[in-house]
Chain A
Amino acid sequence: MKPSWTWRLISMPAAVALCGVAVSCAAADVAPPKGVTHQVAIQNFAFAPKSLIVPVGTRVVWTNHDEEPHVVTSAGAAFASSKALDSGDTYAVTFFKPGTYTYYCSIHPMMVGTIIVQ
């Protein structure tokens, strides 16, 4: 997954800073520093990365790269749904409370993603 790989490259210095030298931790599990914006790409009827772990206060921005519209919808109505995101449109949510936020596309419900806020 290209977007995920890009994210890891960008996040690596943060990973080192948070984990220290001696602690081993997988890059995908590493939380970025507070106040950071994270991108989720909507591409080929999928969210990428499908699962994202972020600290409290992180702003998550979804960008629709498909020619089809998509709607970011919280499975438990834990955050407001986006409007129909046409090609190139973005939607942002800032997560202030820890928890696991499952979301999906309300018109293509097989598209499911998770934001884990720690």
Chain B
Amino acid sequence: MQDYDNMMDEGTADIGMAGGRRQFLKCMAWAGAGTLWLMKSGVLQAQPLGEANTVKGATFSFVQISDSHIGFHKAPNPDVVGTLRRSLAMINAQKTRPAFLLHTGDLTHLSKPEEFDILNGLMQEARVERRFYVPGEHDVIGDNGAEFFSRFGEKQHAGGWYSFDQHGVHFVGLINVLNLKAGGLGSLGADQLAWLKNDLAGLSAETPVVVFAHMPLWPLYPQWGWGTDDSGEALSYLRRFGSVTVLNGHIHQIQQKVEGNITFYTARSTAYPQPAPGDGPGPGPLQSVTAEALHRYLGIRDVRHVRTGGALAVTEEVLS
């Protein structure tokens, strides 16, 4: 415990300085490598991730982080601010500067204004030009996301969903944590689906599409609420595209699935892990994880777009 705390303090206090970077790389070596995911023609290839990893031919990269749960302060992670800072420091240490930073929800634990403010301040530490967000269910408690949207909303549409283009890749941010019904899962709703259909209608099938939302857009484990009721309809609009990548958070662990040209990923949390689907009585913080082992469960995702293949290479880096 003491060793871990010291490591955290040294790693976060010197962000951006030479000493901090050395410390950071030392931590990486101490923690062991993460995994580099290469997606080529719809097939995933994994490589151990080290500091020397490069993806040749990448036209740009972006980083996904998720589930920071600012405000959570119990086992197994009483310092969610510190672990988020470590994730952001890793982003700043990337050799190639990411085009943007994507947070796939549960910024906060209880939707409190002060939690949002802390998260917002921390995210400014990442040296990226743009930051994109979608809310998690923890970000919309009691106010249907008013506090979230006032700070992080893209304000393209009243419902909060949005799209943008980056180097020929079409990105879509969806919201599936509002207007949830008793006994149901995540929900997109008719209005958002109609917008999505229209948003995608003008694109050629060769356009790579990246869709992101907080809750999984596939029935990952409905018994624990890990899915979205009307995701099937959304996916029906996406099947004609040659390369579709769906990025989600919510479950605090990596799960993947390939379905035709659509590849699904869920990201780790920067705060705490949850059990594997069906392992134990329910989801929630995996409290048995010791402080020394926590870093192995946390992480960031670095996605590099390789223009030649029209596909995405996804790397997953364990937070050291």
Which residues from chain A sit less than 8 Å from chain B, CB to CB? 44-46, 66-69, 71, 73, 75, 81, 83-84, 86-87, 102-104, 106-112
Contacts and interface: CB of A to CB of B under 8 A. Distances in A.
Contacts of B44: none
A114 B177 CA distance: 23
Contact of B225 (A45, A66, A67): A45
Contact of B282 (A44, A69, A71, A109): A44
Contacts of A68: 283-285
A104 B142 contact: no
Given A44-B282, A104-B183, A112-B183, A67 B110 contact: no
B181 interface: yes
Contacts of B86: none
Contacts of B222: 110
Contact of A112 (B74, B182, B281): B182
B222 to A, nearest CB: 7
Contacts of B284: 44-45, 66-68
B224 interface: yes
Contacts of A110: 183-185, 222-225
Interface residues of B, number: 27
Given A45-B225, A71-B141, 19 more contacts: A46-B282, A66-B284, A67-B74, A67-B75, A67-B284, A68-B285, A69-B109, A83-B141, A84-B110, A103-B182, A107-B177, A109-B181, A109-B182, A109-B183, A109-B184, A109-B225, A110-B222, A110-B223, A110-B224
Interface in B268-318: 281-285, 287
Contacts of A84: 110-111, 141-142
Contacts of B110: 69, 84, 86
A115 B124 CA distance: 47
**Majority SS at the chain B contact face:** loop
B281 A44 contact: yes
Q: Which 5 A-B pairs have the closest CB atoms?
A: A44-B282, A104-B182, A107-B137, A45-B282, A44-B281
18 contacts: A44-B284, A45-B224, A45-B283, A68-B284, A69-B138, A71-B142, A84-B110, A84-B111, A84-B142, A102-B182, A103-B182, A107-B140, A107-B177, A108-B225, A109-B181, A109-B182, A109-B185, A112-B182
A90 B110 CA distance: 15
B180 interface: yes
A116 to B, nearest CB: 16
Interface string B123-138: 0000000000000011
A67 to B, nearest CB: 5
A67 B182 contact: no
A81 B285 CA distance: 25
A78 to B, nearest CB: 12
Contacts of A73: 182
Nearest to A81: B142
Contacts of B287: 67
Contacts of B182: 73, 75, 102-104, 109, 112
Contacts of B181: 109
B94 to A, nearest CB: 32
B281 A106 contact: no
Nearest to A111: B225
Contacts of B141: 69, 71, 83-84, 106-107
